[in-house]
Structure formats: C-alpha cells, structure tokens
Amino acid sequence: MPFISKDWRSPGEEWVKTQEGWEKKKVLECTAQRSGDGEEGDKSTNEAVSRIPPHCHITIKCTREIAGFNGLSEAVRRLDFSSAVRDVRRFNYICALLELLLHGQRLTHLPGAAQKLLLSMLEQLADQVAQSQQNLNALRALLSGVSALREAERRSCWGRPLGSRALWGHHDHAIARIHHIASAIRIQEPGPEVVPKLHDLPEECIRDILLRLADHRDLDAASSAWSVMSSVCSEQRIWRELVSFHFTNQQIDAAVAKIKEDDKEVEWKKIFHHLRKLYGLREEAQFAETLSLCRHCRCLFWRSLGHPCIADQCPEYRERLREAGGPLPPSPVPPAAFLKFFSL
C-alpha cells in the first residue's frame, strides 16, 4: 500500500460536499479584506465552510522525515466537540473522554490549555444536561471527580496547588459555575396532557424497552424504580439477551459449563456478572457513535458525518487501492485510543 502524506491538500483549498459528491473549492482566509458586497461574500464563504464535516488530520508516527505533533485543543476544535455534546449519539463518548482526563491524568500533569479545555467541555456538558434534563448522573459523577481532584491537589501542596495562581483561579471560577448549573437542575415530571405515561404502558412494552438497554446499571436502576420493572428485570430472558450481546458464544459456553458444576440451574444474571468481571464489556457497545480514523488520509472524523478523503476524489489513488485490494475500512477510535495521539 503506497504511503500518502497527511498534507495531500493544496494550500488554500478545501473539500466541499455537494449533491454530486466532494468537490475542491478555494477557501478564503479569515483575514481577507471585505469587498463592496462583503456581507454576501462572507455569507457564501460561511455556507461553504459549514458544509465541510468536522475532521482533523493527525500525525500517526513521527520520524526523521516527517516531523509533526498533535494538539489536543486543536483536535477538539476541528472535530467540533461543542456540537457533539448536544448530540445524543455522541454524548456518552464525550463523557467517557472527560472521565479519562479526570481520573487517568492528574489535573496538574496536563498542559494549561488542556486544563482549560477540560473545564470548558465540562461546562458545555452541564449546560446540555440542564437544557435536556437527561444524564444528570453522568454530570454529577464528573463534577464530583473534578472537585475531588482539585481538593487532592490542594492537600498535596499544603493548601495551595502547584502552578499559576491565575490559572487555578480560573479553574475555581469554572468549577463554581458548573456546580451552580448542576444544583439548579430540577427534573420536572411531564404534565397531565402528556399521554400515555410509562405507568400506563402494558408489560409487553416495558419488557421491549428493557431489552434495548445495553448497560446492566440501567437495569438495576429501573428495577428499583417501579415494581413492574423489577419483576421484568428478574426474568431470565433480559439477562440472557444482555449476555449474548456483550460476549461471544465460546465465552458463554465456558461460563455456563463452569457454573453448572456448582449449580444445577443456570442463572443468567450470575453468568453476566461472572463474564463481566472476567472479560469486561464491549467498549464499542457503550457508545452510539465513536470517532473513526481514515487509514488513507490519516484523518479523524465522525463516521455519521463523513470527511473529505483522497480515496474518494483522486482517480489514480482509487485505482491503486483497487489493485491492492482496498479501500480499507476506517478504524474505530475509542476515547482511550484518542488520547494516545497526544502528549499529555
């Protein structure tokens, strides 16, 4: 497979998606002077740029011939994480990324720009939770984590964290704002005009809803919320479907054979927790959408939005791909793999 450098685009050019496909367009610089009809020019330029899906070219491996680096702040801006927070499909991905930054990296070990970026993303997430009144537990878990991390830094340095006072003052104000947003959230019950309510649904509909949950914690929370859900969650079918979703047939057969040695009756809830502790859960099943890495143009992008790729536009490259048995499918990039691209 021939190597294609990440800088395959010409300066001043971008790929714009049209009805016929991706086309190469000239992109005006942000500092360009306005002409007499500047408002119309700016409007057309903004429309052209807005049609470009968020993507970010990265350096996979630095060598003597290819010198480069990846900036976390620049990648977050180019991948439009601000809009991703407001997308229900990508919300859990952003939460997992923030959790890794909070718990996997100590706050003082991150660069100052990464610290500001982390708190800015957390504040945007808090605003989204307040507006949608969903995922309140995820916000509280992240907020308790950043507060505990801040207190740990203070205790380790005799009441004053290491680093710039101005930077930590900015952090304190940001955390206080996020606390204020979280404390002001009030989950309101739907009014009497909203029908039918969950309690009015038949048991078959409740069972169908629970069968679509991929997280065992949601099942435990549902069973403690309502007696009908508790009875449905105790059924063997719910946990059997959850086991088959997360684990392979070989893993399931081995666990069933081992449990049958001790117990005559197979309890699928017990098998699920045994396999979960042994193998862990499918990471890709936790997110409705993840970032992807194009193996042709070395570009990170959201799969549902796509990206301008050389494999779609260059006839010569497409021909070489066909001869090599391509094109290659994009690789999913979970949150932990995303952070490995950066020097944190």
- From 285, 306, 321, the end of a domain falls on 285
Mean pLDDT calculated for residue range 283-294: 83
Instruction: Please check the confidence at residue 5 and state whether its pLDDT lies above 50.
Output: no
> Do 73 and 174 share a structural domain?
yes
With respect to residue 260, please indicate whether it lies within any of the assigned structural domains: yes
Is the entire prediction scored with pTM above 0.85? no
Do 169 and 109 lie in one domain? The reply is: yes
- Whether residue 54 is contained in a domain is answered as no
Q: Are residues 251 and 303 in the same domain?
A: no
pLDDT at 130 over 90: yes
Q: Are 145 and 233 in a shared domain? A: no
Instruction: Please report whether residue 132 resides in a domain.
Output: yes
Does 79 share its domain with 166?
yes
pLDDT grade, residue 111 (50/70/90)?
confident
Query: pLDDT tens digits, residue range 182-193?
Result: 999 988 877 788
Query: How many domains does one find in the chain?
Result: 3
Whether the CB-CB separation of 85 and 92 falls below 8 Å is answered with: no
Range of the domain at 103: 66-184
- What pLDDT was estimated at residue 180? 93
Q: Which domain-ending residue is among 267, 285, 303?
A: 285
Would you say residue 206 lies in a domain?
no
Q: What is the pLDDT of residue 237?
A: 92
Q: Indicate whether 29 pLDDT > 60.
A: no
For the CA atoms of the chain, what is the radius of gyration?
25
**Does 302 reside within a domain?**
yes
Do 271 and 308 share a structural domain? no
Residue 319 and residue 252 share a domain? no
The last residue of one of the domains, among 285, 311, 329, is 285
Question: 273 and 219 in one domain?
Answer: yes
Helix (H) or strand (E) holding 22: strand 22-26
Cα 106 from Cα 100, distance rounded (Å): 10
Q: How confident is the model at residue 60 (pLDDT cuts 50, 70, 90)?
A: confident
Q: Give the range with max mean pLDDT: 5-19, 63-77, 261-275.
A: 261-275
The whole-number pLDDT of residue 320 equals 77
Q: Is residue 53 part of a domain?
A: no
Mean pLDDT of the chain: 78
Burial 307-332 (b: 16+ CB within 10 A, else e): bbbbbbbbeebbeebeeeeebeebee
- The confidence band for 206, taking pLDDT boundaries of 50, 70 and 90, is very high
In-domain check, residue 33: no
Please tell me whether residues 84 and 126 are part of one structural domain.
yes
pLDDT, tens digit (0-9, with 9 covering 90-100), for 133-177 = 888 888 998 998 888 877 877 777 666 666 777 888 888 899 999
pLDDT value at residue 9: 41
- Are 249 and 303 contained in the same domain? no
* Confidence at residue 280, expressed as pLDDT on a 0 to 100 scale: 86
- Band (pLDDT 50/70/90 cuts) for residue 47 is very low
Residue pLDDT, tens place only, 234-259:
999 999 999 999 999 999 998 888 87
Question: Could you tell me how far CA 149 lies from the centroid of its own chain?
Answer: 22
Per-residue tokens: 25: 């367009």
- Residue range 41-68: average pLDDT? 63
Q: Is residue 49 part of a domain?
A: no
Looking at the structure, tell me whether residues 118 and 150 fall in a common domain: yes
| Pair (229, 278) in one structural domain | yes
